[in-house]
Amino acid sequence: MSLVNNLQKRYLARSKVDCIKKCFFIAVIFCTSVTILYFFRNQILYNVSKGYSTFITNISNILINNGFVIDKVIISGNASINKSDILQFVDRKCAIIFLSINDMRDRIKSSNAWIKDVVIKRVLPNTIYIEVQEYYAFANWIHNGINSIIDNTGHVIVNTSNRANNLISIYGDNALHNLYFIREVLSDNSMLSAMISSFIWVGDRRWDIIFSSGLEVRLPESDPHIAWNYLAYLNRTSNEFITWKVVDMRVTGKIFIQQ
């Protein structure tokens, strides 16, 4: 029995030694491999990258030769942006399957401040649809000595020294906090609203409206839309409205007219 036990002990001891040798060998191989990869990492990465690039190029050429080329580019929605300014971002040398839609979209969108969004669709085998969504100019906003072109949400499209004569002007650093009132006034599309030249935000609390005729209307702080509706009524019913220079409606229930 003791002989069997001795043999088992020797076997276990030898197994442990063999296991340690194997682990040591594996560790040496691992460390050697890591060292080789570290010192030759740049060359290895270059070769892998070059091989991948060559593979993609070859596949792209095969696809192009079989009709998967960008042959048609259909652009829509561009009212103020030239098609040529958009086409420059289309890589016609690239097979249509490998075209990066997201990358092209981001580059087109960031190329012009008037572009709100871009939607690109790829239609195999050879057509790209590019839909441009532009910002629409709503007004000149004069604030802090700067003139900005804004859309109807108050988004600043561009800052420019030249005011757009076909747009109304809004004066006041904090005027856009009350932009909803301007939208409300202009949305009625009346003859009176069509004569508005500018809105002035006075004292951070109320509006003055200047008309193209030179008329100045001073609206009250509270319920300016009610005063505006009454002004529209006066315009429809009074033959002398066109001769007025100032209409002061700041005091509720009273109106002062200067001719």
User: Is the separation of the CB atoms in 82 and 74 below 8 Å?
Assistant: no
pLDDT over threshold 60, residue 257? yes
What is the per-residue pLDDT for 56? 52
Q: In whole angstroms, what is the distance from residue 141 CA to residue 156 CA?
A: 9
Strands (E), the chain: 72-76, 115-123, 127-134, 139-143, 146-150, 156-159, 168-171, 196-202, 206-211, 216-218, 246-248, 256-258
Q: Where are the domains of the chain?
A: 2-64, 66-134, 139-258
| 256 C-beta neighbours (distance < 10 Å), count | 11
Q: From edge to edge, which strands make up the β-sheet containing 168-171?
A: 156-159, 146-150, 139-143, 168-171, 196-202, 206-211, 216-218, 246-248, 256-258
CATH of domain 66-134: 3.10.20.310
pLDDT digits (tens, 9 = 90+) for 88-135: 999 888 888 888 899 999 999 999 999 999 999 998 888 999 999 999
pLDDT digits (tens, 9 = 90+) for 15-64: 555 556 556 555 555 565 556 545 555 554 555 455 545 655 555 555 55
Residue among 173, 195, 175, 177 nearest 186 (CA)? 195
What is the per-residue pLDDT for 59? 56
* pLDDT-based confidence at residue 7 (cuts at 50, 70, 90): very low
Mean of all residue pLDDT scores within the chain? 83
Given the candidates 3.40.50.1110, 3.40.50.720, 3.40.50.11690, 3.30.420.10, the CATH classification of the domain at 139-258 is 3.40.50.11690
